[in-house]
Structure 1
Amino acid sequence: MPLPWTPVLPISTPRLLLRAHTADDLDDLLQFHSDPEVVRYLPWPVRSIDETRFALLAKVPQARVDSEGQWLVLAVELAETGQVIGEVVLKCVSETEGEIGFALHAGFQRAGYGYEAASTMLSLAFGELALTRVTATLDARNAASAALLEKLGMTRGELVRDRPFKGGLVDELHYAIDVTDHL
């Protein structure tokens, strides 16, 4: 799909709603943005309430992508309760390629919510947005995310050693899936 990306939101799944962030998401975001275990492999540090508020203000308009390099950022809301338990993102690498990412509150991990949100984002990418390829990059120590990407049908590719990350050096894994491989 040519830019801009303006997906039809919200997107409903059996248990979730993927939607634009709102200012009302602050308390829910703080629960996982301030958790050292959740942000351990993410590019941001543990955030205070003020830092989370600042990040949220940046996320609110990110339900639309106008140019390459921008991120589509969607809140992952539990349909039953309205609680935001995570977020799923898609970077516009080009008009035909995206990069997926996700973060989930620790209390909701290992229950299939991450898979449900990420697979829905892939369906959006290959469907409405008409992308032909989606990639992902992660810290090689993040076994749970690697397993999720593989469950999504993504293929592990390149291993980059000794990439600077949060004051140290880490190995980085790259994954990819093409539209023809998407279920």
Structure 2
Amino acid sequence: MTTLPLDTDRLRLRLFGPADLDDLYAYQRLPEVARYLYRPPLTRERCEESLARRADGTGWTRDGDDLVLAVCRRDEPGVVGEIVLKLASARAAQAEIGWVFHPAFGGRGYATEAARAAASLAFGALRVHRLFARLDTRNTGSVRVCERLGMRREAHLVENDLDGDEWGSEYVYALLAREWPARAV
């Protein structure tokens, strides 16, 4: 893999550590964050469990292996969100990308900037052939991030999952490694 952290103009992407608990819990506990994740807000205990697993990272060899990166502003302390790369198929070199950010830091382009850095990592050092994102159709912010990355909408899955007691629909966006250089700017 590549050496972490990854730096962009304004951000640093790095592995999570135990000191990140308060920042992680600050956004993972919010109902407005969980509403598009098809799960309830996380408790502090679940955040602690998640941090313990994230700090070690995983390999990048088996289906389900993932890399969860804390997104921090380079000029200020604290975690503002996270980027997830999950190996969906090792054989087909396909990975899923996702992001979760504290709403207080929305509208500043952080998700796009961090996702662009993660996509470069995926297509470069991680040797991914196809990168895809699955998102709730109501999540217009994430739709815009996918489109800014140059991903194409490949599917609209209608009422394919339960969001609490309601059916939720998803979009699938994707991009191939050979398409990335033209969109990486």
TM-score normalised by the chain length of structure 2:
0.90
How far residue 63 of structure 1 moved from its aligned partner, in angstroms, is: 5.5
Q: Distance in 2 between matches of 1:8 and 1:61?
A: 14
How far residue 132 of structure 1 moved from its aligned partner, in angstroms, is: 1.6
The correspondence of residues 145-164 of structure 1 with structure 2, limited to 5 A, is: 145-164=142-161
Q: Distance in 1 between matches of 2:159 and 2:53?
A: 30
1:172 aligns with 2:167: no
Q: Distance in 2 between matches of 1:177 and 1:87?
A: 20
Do the aligned residues in 2 keep the contact of 1:20 with 1:63 (CA within 8 Å)? no
Evaluate the alpha carbon distance shift between residue 63 and residue 146 of structure 1 in structure 2; reply closer, same or farther with a 3 A threshold.
Answer: same
Q: Distance in 2 between matches of 1:171 and 1:39?
A: 15
Give the AA of the match of 1:47. L
Q: Distance in 2 between matches of 1:63 and 1:24?
A: 20
Percent pairwise identity = 37
Give the AA of the match of 2:117. T
Q: Distance in 2 between matches of 1:47 and 1:134?
A: 27
Q: What is the RMSD computed on CA atoms of the aligned residues?
A: 1.4
Q: Distance in 2 between matches of 1:78 and 1:141?
A: 27
- 5+ residue gaps, structure 2: none
Q: Distance in 2 between matches of 1:149 and 1:175?
A: 7
**What's the CA shift string for 1:113-156, capped at 9, x where partnerless?**
00110000001111111212101111111111011101100000
Q: Distance in 1 between matches of 2:58 and 2:11?
A: 17
Equivalent of residue 98 in structure 2, options 77, 92, 101: 101
Equivalent of residue 8 in structure 2, options 10, 13, 30: 13
Runs of 4+ in 1 over 6 A off after TM superposition: none
Give the AA of the match of 1:20. L
**Residue 83 of structure 1: aligned partner:** 78
**Residue 34 of structure 2: aligned partner:** 39
How far residue 176 of structure 1 moved from its aligned partner, in angstroms, is: 0.5
The correspondence of residues 40-59 of structure 1 with structure 2, limited to 5 A, is: 40-59=35-54
Q: Distance in 2 between matches of 1:157 and 1:24?
A: 39
- 5+ residue gaps, structure 1: 1-5
Give the AA of the match of 2:14. R
Q: How many residue pairs align between the two structures?
A: 178
Evaluate the alpha carbon distance shift between residue 178 and residue 125 of structure 1 in structure 2; reply closer, same or farther with a 3 A threshold.
Answer: same
Do the aligned residues in 2 keep the contact of 1:157 with 1:174 (CA within 8 Å)? yes
Q: Secondary structure at the match of 1:60?
A: helix
1:124 aligns with 2:121: yes
How far residue 62 of structure 1 moved from its aligned partner, in angstroms, is: 2.1
Evaluate the alpha carbon distance shift between residue 127 and residue 181 of structure 1 in structure 2; reply closer, same or farther with a 3 A threshold.
Answer: same
How far residue 7 of structure 1 moved from its aligned partner, in angstroms, is: 2.8
How far residue 65 of structure 1 moved from its aligned partner, in angstroms, is: 2.9
